[in-house]
Amino acid sequence: MQDQTDIAARHDTRSAVDRLLRENSRLRADCEAAQAEARQTEQTLASLRGLVRSALIELDERARANAEATVTLADVRAQVVFGLSELVAFAGETLAGNLEQEIAFADPDLANWVKTGVDDARVKMIVGVRGANKTGVLRAVRSWLQTRGIEEARLVDIDFEDVRFRRFETMEDVLDLLRRLPPCDRPRFLFLDEIGRIGGHVELLRQLSESRAWNVWAASSTAYAVSDDHPFVPYVWMSVYRAKPKRGMVRPRQVLERIWCQIFLRDVVSGVKHPDIQAKAALAEYFSDHLGEIKTLREVAAELNVCGRKISPNSIRTYRMALMAAYLIEVSEVYDTFERSVVRNQGGRVFWTDLELRNCRFGAALEYESERTALNELYLTLRQTYDKVYTPRGSDADFLTLECDGSPRFWYAPLKDARAQAFFRQGGGGGYLCKTEEKAIEIGYYKAA
């Protein structure tokens, strides 16, 4: 009897020890998991600190290089929204939404476009090069609508580059999803990000614009979302806002490299059966090296070499159109003031919509880099006001714009070096004649015709 009692006691003890060992193993595993999570969090924080630190260092370097440059908290906040998506996600939806809305609505033109678009039956389309904060604008509009009392059930978001919607290929996939939504007795607000990835997206947007059940806001990084051919004139049932990268902002190199890869893989070559990626990349590099120079298609074809092979002028035109459709570059055509028309066989000058992206990818040109940058900056400044910025034929001016009454206005970049003036201006220099008639703007001057 005593032996049985001892056996039972030993069994109970062994069972208790086993339970304690199992509990200890579970606790150890939980502790290791918690430590691993803490290490991961610390690594994430360290990575984010490194990104922010590198951004601040670059901002400080720019401020030191240019005494007129200033580094403000607003620049850093804009840096977070535009470039550091990981930091925005880590900050939480509330803070991220507030930052995006604050930065987006700081532009009065955009704020006015958004507020008038609420009652506009047309599709509201935001276009621009990647990195121009189009997604941030959509989120800002959504947050703004919520502050106006719009219920969450009336806000529908579809990001076609999100893993949940990448399988969507045609407009029918989108319409099927919308049909499965619960009924709503009031119009819904539909946000479609990167709509250009969907086959038949133009017809999809047209149908939605005709429906009173939807107030549509969309964004695209390709011009083919608003038109099927150059000069990319938007459809009449579409209201378009052109988003542009914030000038003067410094983004970390890894962010710019990611943007460049997305532009080429998703916007420039996407949807093409046999894309000549090497030729398009070489052409982009050529336009970087020859920034601000007047070039015809034949001249580009004669000078461009792609891995030992030549490209025809017609192919150059096609590839240049692909870069333009991705909002990567723009062309300033040559304009004859006497004929009052564009001179088609005189070529044009290519300018970059995002100079920081260009500088990160290709670096400075071998000569006249400061003059090329000045020309590009003046061009972008003029494009904020004018739909077209031309290069005047046979003039000492750098650019020409047309006023509402058709009268021309000549603009001059600060090219103080005589050799640079002779190199970039068709008139061979000058540029500062009749200074009493000139009016200074940010980085240029104009003189009435």
Give the tens place of pLDDT for each residue, 189-233: 999 999 998 889 999 999 999 999 999 999 999 998 888 766 678
Task: State yes or no: pLDDT of 444 exceeds 70.
Answer: no
Extract long-range pairs of 335-341: CB within 8 Å, 24+ residues apart: 335/390, 335/391, 335/392, 335/393, 335/400, 335/408, 336/393, 337/392, 337/393, 337/395, 337/400, 337/408, 337/449, 340/406
- Predicted pLDDT at 350: 96
Reported confidence tier of residue 77, pLDDT bands at 50, 70, 90: low
Give the tens place of pLDDT for each residue, 349-384: 999 999 999 999 999 998 999 999 999 999 999 999
Give the tens place of pLDDT for each residue, 324-334: 999 999 999 99
pTM of the entire predicted model = 0.75
Strands 391-392 vs 399-402: parallel, antiparallel or unpaired: unpaired
Query: What stretches of 233-368 show up as alpha helix (H) in DSSP?
Result: 253-262, 277-289, 297-303, 313-325, 355-362
Strands 341-342 vs 238-242: parallel, antiparallel or unpaired: unpaired
- Predicted pLDDT at 178: 94
Q: Find which of 66-70, 157-161, 244-248, 254-258 is predicted with most confidence, using mean pLDDT.
A: 157-161
Q: What mean pLDDT is predicted for residues 372-400?
A: 92
Give the tens place of pLDDT for each residue, 95-143: 445 556 666 777 788 889 998 888 888 999 999 999 888 988 898 899 8
Extract long-range pairs of 299-308: CB within 8 Å, 24+ residues apart: 299/347, 306/276, 306/278, 306/279, 306/282, 307/278, 307/282
